[in-house]
Chains A and B, each alone.
Chain A
Amino acid sequence: MLARTAENLFWLARYVERADFTARIIDVTSRLAALPQSYRGDGGEWESALAAVGALNAFNASFSEPTESNVVHFLAFDETNPSSIHNCLEQARTNARTIRTALTAEMWQAINSGWLELKSFEERRRSGEYSGIESILPFLEFVKSVSLDFDGAAYRTMLRNDAYWFNRVGLYVERADNTARLMDVKYNVLLPKSEAVGGSLDYFQWTSILRAVSAQTAYHWVYRESVKPWLIADLLILRKEMPRSLIYCYDNLARFLDLLGKAYGMQASSQRHTRMVLRRLENTSMEEIFQEGLHEFVTKFIDDNNRLGGIIAEQYLLI
């Protein structure tokens, strides 16, 4: 496969995943912000939404205050924000157009229809038909449906060869990053057992994390008890059955990178690096993670995950 094609497949998956995650973050943040002040703590939820998607610095460069309308605009529509939903979908389509031959018709149609819908939504928005948070919610639903369509199309229609594997590798690198960032922003409310504080204040913060990753029901199936912060951390880091957990992402990365390595007849640095991260996740427990410090653990994970992106590029994408 052309190196450029592989790179585009990898990034296409990342952009779609990122758009989806950003939509989820806006969604849960608007829910949280709608609660009475006494239930939601310091009121910095829009700021932490920015932090969760790694856009705080970029935001501060162009806005003075993280109000709801500023942040929603910046995360969803702002063309100066490279990770805005607008730019993710725009980039995804540009990438898809460049490598149409490597996509199935269904994948292309998912992306292209999504892009056309984005255009028409933005048109209606410009004409004043949409404003305020309520009108954004259908848009967020739409963005999530684009990622479902695209991902479903990839899963159902792609040949299981290197094109599919690069798509999956992009997806899981991005997803691992997103889950880790979400926890990094909320680490202060995800406390170890001994420090459990109880009370309703943090409850909504916890459930909003679960909501962001569509895991409320999953949580109850897995733990069969009320929402506890350390169990949320456990679910998102160490549970292999949770499709957004760090360990699930790395389990898959190891698998798909192995397939690539086998197909190309060479195991190299990306495979080794992935195994190393996966082993660390497999050989640890929540107690150890809390001992090390959740923040430290997650920061290190984000670094390692970024490094994996770089190693994959070196090994396969840049010749």
Chain B
Amino acid sequence: MSKTRFFDEMNGYGDEPRALYARVAEWLQRTPPEILATRRAQAELMFRRVGITFAVYGGNDDTERLIPFDIIPRIVGHREWSKLEEGLIQRVAALNMFLSDIYGPREILKAGILPPDIIYKNPYFRPEMSGRRVPHDVWVHIAGIDLVRTGEGEFFVLEDNARTPSGVSYMLENREVMMRLMPDLFSSYRIAPVDNYADALLAALRSVTPATARGEPTVALLTPGQYNSAYYEHSFLADRLGIELVEGNDLFVKDEIVYMKTTEGPKRVDVLYRRVDDEWLDPLSFRPDSALGVPGLMNAYQAGNITITNAVGTGVSDDKAIYSYMPEIVRFYTGQEAKLSNVQTWRCREPDSYKYVREHLDELVVKEVNGSGGYGMLVGPHASRADIDEFAKKLDHDPANYIAQPTLALSTCPAFIDDAVVPRHVDLRPFILTGSNGSRVVPGGLTRVAMREGSLVVNSSQGGGTKDTWVIEDTNLDAGKPDAKTPDSKNLDAKGA
């Protein structure tokens, strides 16, 4: 495997650093590994002190682990970022219009763009929301959209997260640590700040206050509690926003109004930033065994007395089946082509695609439409002939249940692993905030790193790490290919083998 097979964030396809990374490359040149190791140890200490951990279930004293942090930043250029930003805002606008439509007039089904069963049979479709409007027609107030890069100017959306996307605390804490650990390198660039994220989020949340609220809106963050894996993030955000961090037991509903129990008696809540999934929100409407929720919350919601963010039922817009239709969805609602490309996806429910997939099983990744966590999936380039034949039978039995994608050539970024600087695959999750006055993207995001050599798995539950993400404001550092065209995504085929 030559390292030039993948696009590298620092070196592109060659050995010369891209203009954006020249200063980082020089810094890596002159900094001995011992110093890098010391910095890494200091960073870890800082993370432990603030307690930025995630819970791992089933352990004893080790139930709290740090997500590995890599000290070499991931850098996005000014022009790259501007294009991403436009694409992200367009995509989120389309997601919101799609949700208003699906729970409203369903024009997109009438127009025959989507097969209806993809909505009605979707486990995340909430019939309770049918015919409901949400304040300002905003459903997805906070979106996290996972991007991967395969070349200069070539970004693809891998996944939309429109339910309760997490990770933004790492974006903020990573920045904090980098500014303290390497002020010189940091100040050698003009890096767009991220710490206004909390203000922007609070403004977005306050802007969607329900019409029946009186006076200053009260916003609260609903957490499943301290044993949830993202609890640190919940408390961190509540703190930065200056709002109460509530659990289900802190809230109650009376006459279709939600109150929190305070030392001064009940206090009305107007906007609930929930980090609890739909099915646990209200035991009277969803899972009756939920101890995390608030009985009667859905009644208050439907009466228009509280805004829940993200809205109930957004899950229907971010699963694999819908993902494959995002280019059509964007076109239908915005009248424009999608500015951010999807990874090419073959829907086996369509005869032509099915035929193509059937003939290229050894090159493709084939997934179940509603599967998750890698279960029921074929990774063609890594599969044996027997595995492929076996899988082909399942596919033939129910083609509509499968989609296929090319194996992606995710870009790499230098990472300091053990005692050496080595390339590791990365993705990027920017966060898009939407309120009554439109959307904004805080310049930055969460860069996740697959810490093992050759691995494409960046999930923190599988040992993935994070990096600070720098969006550079200096326009003179942009790459030399101003209008790099979005490539024909078929070129992506099988590079990951």
Contacts and interface: CB of A to CB of B under 8 A. Distances in A.
Interface stretch (B44-52, B182-190, B319-327, B360-368): B44-52
B244 A162 contact: no
Contact of A319 (B226, B231, B244, B261): B261
B51 A2 contact: no
A120 B235 CA distance: 26
Contacts of B235: 97, 100-101
A97 B53 CA distance: 11
Contacts, number: 62
Contact of B250 (A2, A94, A316): A2
Nearest to B48: A116
A260 B264 CA distance: 10
Contacts of A97: 51, 226, 231, 235
Contacts of A264: 263-264
B238 interface: yes
A3 B263 contact: yes
Nearest to B245: A101
A4 B250 contact: yes
Nearest to A105: B50
A108 interface: yes
Interface string A76-120: 000000000000000000100111110001001100110010010
A101 B238 contact: yes
Given A2-B246, A4-B247, A94-B226, A319 B266 contact: yes
A34 interface: no
Contacts of A71: none
Nearest to A7: B263
A112 B236 CA distance: 15
A191 interface: no
A100 B225 CA distance: 12
Nearest to B61: A119
Contact of B49 (A94, A109, A166): A109
A281 B247 CA distance: 41
A98 B226 contact: yes
A3 B262 contact: yes
B244 to A, nearest CB: 5
A3 B265 CA distance: 8
B239 interface: yes
Contact of A112 (B51, B261, B263, B264): B51
B147 to A, nearest CB: 31
Nearest to A109: B49
B262 A112 contact: no
Interface string A1-16: 1111110000000000
Interface residues of B, number: 25
Contacts of A113: 49
- The dominant DSSP class at the B interface is mixed
Given A109-B50, A112-B49, A1 B263 contact: yes
Contacts of B51: 97, 100, 108, 112
B369 interface: no
A127 to B, nearest CB: 14
Interface string B223-267: 001100001000110110000111101100000000011111110
Nearest to A315: B263
- The dominant DSSP class at the A interface is helix
Interface string A150-185: 000000000000100010000000000000000000
A158 B51 CA distance: 19
Given A101-B245, A109-B50, A319 B239 contact: no
A2 B244 contact: yes
Contacts of A3: 250, 261-263
Given A97-B226, A97-B235, A4 B49 contact: no
Contacts of A260: 263
Most B CB contacts (10 A, CB to CB) among A6, A100, A105 go to A100
Given A2-B250, A97-B51, A109-B50, A162 B245 contact: no
Contacts of A166: 263
A116 B225 CA distance: 21
B125 to A, nearest CB: 34
A64 B414 CA distance: 62
B273 to A, nearest CB: 13
Contact of A2 (B61, B226, B231, B261): B261
A316 B264 CA distance: 7
Contacts of B236: 100
Nearest to A116: B48
Contacts of B61: 119
Nearest to A162: B263
Interface string A291-319: 00000000000000000000000001101
A60 B140 CA distance: 59
B224 to A, nearest CB: 12
B195 to A, nearest CB: 15
Interface in A119-155: 119
Contacts of A100: 51, 235-236, 239, 245
B134 to A, nearest CB: 26
Contacts of B226: 94, 97-98
A2 B267 CA distance: 9
Contacts of A5: 244
A309 to B, nearest CB: 16
A116 B266 CA distance: 37
Contacts of B239: 100-101
A60 to B, nearest CB: 29
A263 to B, nearest CB: 8
A264 B267 CA distance: 13
Nearest to B249: A4
Interface in A215-264: 260, 264
Given A101-B245, A112-B48, 8 more contacts: A2-B244, A2-B263, A3-B250, A3-B263, A98-B226, A109-B50, A264-B264, A316-B263
14 contacts: A1-B264, A2-B246, A2-B262, A4-B247, A97-B226, A99-B245, A100-B51, A101-B238, A108-B50, A109-B50, A112-B48, A166-B263, A260-B263, A319-B265
What are the nearest 10 A-B pairs in CB distance? A100-B235, A319-B261, A101-B239, A101-B238, A316-B263, A3-B261, A6-B263, A101-B245, A1-B263, A112-B51
Interface of A: 1-6, 94, 97-101, 105, 108-109, 112-113, 116, 119, 162, 166, 260, 264, 316-317, 319
Interface of B: 48-51, 61, 225-226, 231, 235-236, 238-239, 244-247, 249-250, 260-266
